[in-house]
Amino acid sequence: MKAIQLWCCVSCEHDWAREFDWTGLADQAVRLENSHRTILRESFVVTSRSATLDPSENRIRDRTAVAGETESIEDLIQEARRAIRLAGLAVATEKGYVSWIRRFGYFRLRRLGSSSLREFDTQGSALYLEYLALERHVSPATQKQALNALVFLARHVHGEKDFQIEFGRATGGSRRPPTVLTRDEVKRILNQLENPWKLLCQLMYGSGLRQSEALKLRVKDIDFGQGTIQIHDAKGGKHRVVPLPAKLESTLQDQLERQRDRHRHDCAAGEGRAHLNESLRRKYPHAGCEWPWQWVFPSATLCPHPRTGEVARYHLHEKSLSRQVTDAVRKAGLSKRATCHTFRHSFATHLLEAGVDIRTVQDLHGHADGSTTMIYLHVMKKPGAGAPSPLDFD
């Protein structure tokens, strides 16, 4: 308290600080008891069954490498990647599973003292999930992600068909409602952006695109005649068609015209290729140089493929777009924590508020389960799909 008083009175030279009742404010500060609900779980720490030592010694053990751990974990990761790709899972799923399997490997070798990772340890899996909840204080959703990764490891890497992981499963109630922007807040954010970032955000809001879907658009996916956008290989490997906002047609055509001029110059210099995955390169050897396969939002620089070494152009980076949106939200003075995905949430909510049926919104979002779309009914200005209040009845 004294430090805050000195900072306000001396460093910042605020007039109000000299007249403020600092003594009265200090007298109001009451030390919370250990049993107070705000700090109870920090005061009375409960460790998992794997914590047989003092907490500080456990932390030292968790950070101390053991002989041969790098080779053991990398071999396990290699087997996991092979199984994941044979199963046709998404790249994001691969990254998540690999991350959890790596952490589980370190936990077994360091905390549990396992000598090998060749066999699946059911009891060790239960202890790890318990450790995440009690010592790492992860949310129920995060614990469930770890469980999914361990179940995949057991079934598809170690070949376990009949097993059961018994642990204290955390429950977190219903799903948290998404953050939704008002139409005015969307405009305030867009006004802080310049193209192509502004156009990307307009597509995410106007067509309900995910961040990755907007960035990965190719020229051939835009159909001005039909007024639609085709989304390929979206989450879960799905394909869908979404509306192209009429207000964005001229801006999008200008964006494509500028990129076509740059593509012509790149082709003249022998560098007019866009990155394609390996199967497409085999099927369409010349597609990377053709205009329909170019990115709508290409990167400003060329980059070599990490494996083949082929120099080509990729799309704008996700982190660059995220930084632009974060800065725009801050400049707009919003108190909400808005991200790129918030535009997609706002798209669905505003359509429902306008009277669009929930089945249509489900199709536009590409949700396999209608219950996922139902969550937007809880954040509408008129909950319950616009049901009136009994007080308004005559």
210 is catalytic: yes
Q: Which helix (H) or strand (E) holds 4?
A: helix 2-6
205 is catalytic: no
365 is catalytic: no
Helix (H, G, I), strand (E, B) or coil at 75: helix
Q: List the 240-243 sheet strands across, edge first.
A: 222-223, 228-231, 240-243
Helices (H), 64-115: 69-86, 91-106
In the block, residue with structure tokens 């952006």: 193
Question: How far is CA 394 from each of CA 44, 382, 388, 389, 390, rounded to the nearest angstrom?
Answer: 57, 20, 12, 11, 9
Among 158, 220, 232, 235, the active-site one is 235
Token pair, residue 276, equals: 């394609």
Distance CA 275, CA 192 (A): 31
Helix (H, G, I), strand (E, B) or coil at 228: strand
CA-nearest of 168, 148, 150, 169 to 160 is 150
Distance CA 214, CA 316 (A): 10
Among 210, 275, 345, 365, the active-site one is 210
Among 275, 344, 345, 350, the active-site one is 344
376 is catalytic: yes
Looking at the annotation, which residues are catalytic? 210, 235, 341, 344, 367, 376
